[in-house]
Each structure stands twice: as C-alpha cells, then as structure tokens.
Amino acid sequence: MSGGERELRSALNRLLSGQGLIHGTLLSRRRVCGKPNCRCVRGQRHESLYLVVSEAGRGRQLYVPADWAEVVRRWIDNYQAARRLMDRLSRLHWEKVQQRQG
C-alpha cells in the first residue's frame, strides 16, 4: 500500500468513524402560514429548511428544525468529502489494475 493510499484510507476512516453523514441536499422554502395578522401576509414569508433525499428513484423531503440545520449541513458536507476520498481511492486502484499491480 502506497503512502498516498494509506493517507486517503486514514482520512476516510476518520471521517466515517464517529461523525454523521447523509446523502442529500438542503432546500429552503418561503411560505405563508395563513394567519390574517401575520407578517407573512405582508410579504415577509416564513422560511423553512428541508432535507431532500432520493430513495428508490423518488425524492423525499423532511423538515429540518432550525436547531438541527448546522448538524445536517455538516453531515451533508461529510458525505461529499467521503465521496471525494472514495473517488480518489478508486482512481488509485484503477491505475493499479491498469498497471497490473497488486
């Protein structure tokens, strides 16, 4: 195992152990609640955050409370970072197969 491969595996392991990750995106929506005296009737709509994931080819949405927003963002970022690391590892192994190295 090369030093570069060892470093990638170590970084991936650190990312996967003890931290959450989720494959999804965040969607911000602005809506009107319907109360006649609310600020949203005057144009200041309520903002809500939703986690959007794809399951079996269908999009699913889940409301994310404001106090969970940073955690969910971090988990999405962790998933993307893990994906980039796995792509780099995959390229290294592609090259090994191409060069017939075990």
pLDDT tops 70 at residue 77:
yes
Q: 26-74: per-residue pLDDT in tens?
A: 999 998 888 888 888 888 898 999 999 999 999 999 999 999 999 999 9
- What integer is the mean pLDDT of 21-28? 94
- What integer is the mean pLDDT of 10-22? 87
If phi > 0 it is left, if psi is from -120 to 50 it is alpha, else beta; for residue 25 that is beta
If phi > 0 it is left, if psi is from -120 to 50 it is alpha, else beta; for residue 2 that is beta
The pLDDT assigned to 102 comes to 63
Single pTM value for the model: 0.79
